[in-house]
Amino acid sequence: MTISPSTQGQMSYDPRERAAILREVEARFAPEDQVLRDCVAHMEHPGGQISPSQGKLFQVLALTCGARKILEIGAYAGYSGVWLGRALPPEGKLISLEIDPHYAEIAKATFAAAGLSGCAEVRVGAALDLLPELVSEAPFDMIFLDADKINNSRYLEWALTLSRPGALIIADNIVRHGRTYQNPPPDASSAGAAEYTRKILEHPRLVSAALLNDDIYNGIDGFSISVVK
């Protein structure tokens, strides 16, 4: 890839050049293997998954907090689950909750293709029904919220119940092109994200940061990373 001299040192970029730079960074730091490429290729709604850079960052974070047990709410086709599952030690466990039985089957097949069937499990049902069953399997070291944003505050309460000090709670799609910050937010998912954001910033047991995803996939969105004190 060549970066034209006209843009060097400047703060504005041609959109195509910007996309090329992002792709180059992604290709170097977060290349997808055939399993991940196949997972995306077979998706009914491509773009519903996290980005490769996000997946790689989640792996780094999982390794940083020594994650042995990871909980994911919202499996979809298993794309993020593969990134997360690959950060686990051999005796580790990923439990991914998915309300749609059809997607759950696809996620299971993706985990099998990735060689993760032994450690990555998909449980089918509404997360709020399944979460109480996880108390006996807690604590989790990392919890990724990526399902129906309207319930994120309730998932946060469960995440706090099911996690240990030092655990990470990550929530995707908290910016939603800025709709989260409109007053009032224009849709239920943005309202859910706004409430979730307020709660993690006010919570005495959480220290939180947000990262923007101004990417070639979904425009400006972002995700929060909270550590449990």
Number of Cβ atoms within 10 Å of the Cβ of 34: 10
Q: Which is nearer to ligand SAM, 182 or 218 (CB)?
A: 218
- Per CB under 6 A, does 194 bind ligand SAM? no
**Angle CA 116–121–127, to nearest 5:** 145
Listed in order, strand segments (DSSP E) in 54-92 are: 69-73
The partner residues of 142 in beta bridges, in order of sequence, read: 70, 168
Give the torsion through C-alpha atoms of 104, 106, 108, 113, to 10 deg: -170
Q: What are phi and psi of 184, to 5 degrees?
A: -85, 160
Within residues 50-89, the interface with ligand SAM by CB under 6 A covers 50, 73-74, 76, 79-80
Q: Which is nearer to ligand SAM, 76 or 140 (CB)?
A: 76
Within residues 128-147, the interface with ligand SAM by CB under 6 A covers 146-147
Give the torsion through C-alpha atoms of 184, 155, 100, 104, to 10 deg: 140
Q: Which is nearer to ligand SAM, 18 or 123 (CB)?
A: 123
Taking the complex as a whole, the smallest distance from the CB of residue 87 to ligand SAM amounts, in Å, to 15
Size of the site for ligand SAM (CB under 6 A): 18
Q: Which of 36, 84, 99, 156 binds ligand SAM (CB under 6 A)?
A: 99
Rounded to an integer, what distance in angstroms lies between the CA atom of residue 161 and that of residue 154?
11
Q: Which is nearer to ligand SAM, 79 or 158 (CB)?
A: 79
Q: Which is nearer to ligand SAM, 77 or 200 (CB)?
A: 77
Q: Which of 35, 52, 87, 98 binds ligand SAM (CB under 6 A)?
A: 98
Residue whose C-beta lies closest to ligand SAM = 74
Within residues 22-51, the interface with ligand SAM by CB under 6 A covers 48-50
148 to 187: interface string for ligand SAM, x by CB under 6 A: x---------------------------------------
Residue 198, C-beta contacts closer than 8 angstroms, at least 6 positions apart: none
Distances (CA, A) of 46 to 124, 180, 183, 218: 21, 23, 30, 10
- Residues in touch with ligand SAM (CB under 6 A): 48-50, 73-74, 76, 79-80, 97-100, 103, 126-127, 146-148
